[in-house]
Amino acid sequence: MLRTVLFCPANDQKKAGKAMTSEADAITLDLEDAVAYSQKAAARESLKEILSVSPAKKTFVRINGASSPYILDDIDAVTGLPLEGIMLAKADSAEEVLRVDWLLGLMEHKKGLPPGKIRLIPFIESSRGMLNAPEIASCTSRIKALAFGGVDFSQELGLRYPAESEGLFFARSQLVIASSVAGIEPPLDTVYPDIRNVAMLEPEAEIARKAGFQGKLVIHPTQVAPVNRVFTPTAQEIEYARKVVAAFDEAENSGTAVIQVEGRLVEYPIYRRALEILGPHKIKN
């Protein structure tokens, strides 16, 4: 699970180096909005230099949208690099995602890579994409998760984000439900564009956590720690999960599947959630 994914421009090797040493769970080197149109080709070359050695942490690349004039060159540039996957900007339909899936398949074959090796995280950032989210989430086995492009989405609908984050409640819920039905990882929440307003970042991340997101996209190193805190179980949650797992394992071995732990009902869904908490997460300080 990814609590934080830190974005930086693919044509800024200094920022990329700093991002690699951050506490973010992963980074994304951006070939899309963070790069001027005139610098797209240079950014692809910079990307290859940055990833000429295996990255220090999980690394994604955000490529331009399927309908952009940059898509072929982007896919050619990123295929074969040591990546966790690709983020596809402005995914409006399953047809667009399948077009990219097909192009990736051709490029994998050309470069001698196993078919389907490259994972995809489509960015849902328009009303059309939101309505098509269920189809997008399940259109190919390459899909790892969905990402919410809340800034573009808000602008399209005339919402005042981040000041009125509650206006995104339906959109966030739609992505969580679409991801669950498709059997993929929970989605990644939108970036919080007000970099200086760190005090409001944790409440914003908490909204996404409560909605069912696995983590949040961030655009500055100062945003990493607050978001990590929100998406990391507390020491108390970890301890309770341990008690739940121990008690339920014992009860199940004796043929019981409904018990109480510290006065709270525990059955299979609660047990499975406790196992998730005891998985790859770290305890909050």
Could you read off the pLDDT of 161-181 as tens digits, one per residue? 888 888 899 999 999 999 999
User: How crowded is residue 69: how many other Cβ atoms within 10 Å of its Cβ?
Assistant: 10
Q: Are 227 and 201 a contacting pair, CB within 8 Å?
A: yes
Within this chain, do residues 122 and 215 fall inside the same structural domain, yes or no? yes
**Residue 285: predicted pLDDT:** 45
Angstrom CA distances, 196 to 14, 26, 252, stand at 21, 22, 50
* Bond from prior residue into 162 cis (ω within 30 degrees of 0): yes
CA atoms in the 13 A half-sphere facing the CB of 36 = 4
Angstrom CA distances, 7 to 12, 67, 87, 141, 221, stand at 11, 22, 11, 25, 9
In a domain, 211, yes or no: yes
pTM (global) more than 0.75: yes
Within this chain, do residues 163 and 271 fall inside the same structural domain, yes or no? no
**Residue 162: predicted pLDDT:** 86
Within this chain, do residues 226 and 241 fall inside the same structural domain, yes or no? no
Within this chain, do residues 172 and 247 fall inside the same structural domain, yes or no? no
Residue of 94, 85, 152 lying closest to 125 (CA atoms) = 152
Q: Are 86 and 122 a contacting pair, CB within 8 Å?
A: no
Q: What is the CATH number of the domain that holds 202?
A: 3.20.20.60
In a domain, 265, yes or no: yes
In a domain, 209, yes or no: yes
Within this chain, do residues 242 and 194 fall inside the same structural domain, yes or no? no
Report the sign of the C-alpha dihedral through residues 149, 150, 151, 152, in that order.
positive
Residues of the chain scoring pLDDT < 70: 280-285
Within this chain, do residues 155 and 241 fall inside the same structural domain, yes or no? no
**Residue 280: predicted pLDDT:** 57
**Structural domain boundaries enclosing 11:** 4-230
The set of residues, in sequence order, having a beta carbon less than 8 Å from that of 31 and lying 6+ positions away, is 10, 40, 43, 44, 47, 61, 62, 63, 64, 70, 74, 77, 78
Within this chain, do residues 9 and 102 fall inside the same structural domain, yes or no? yes
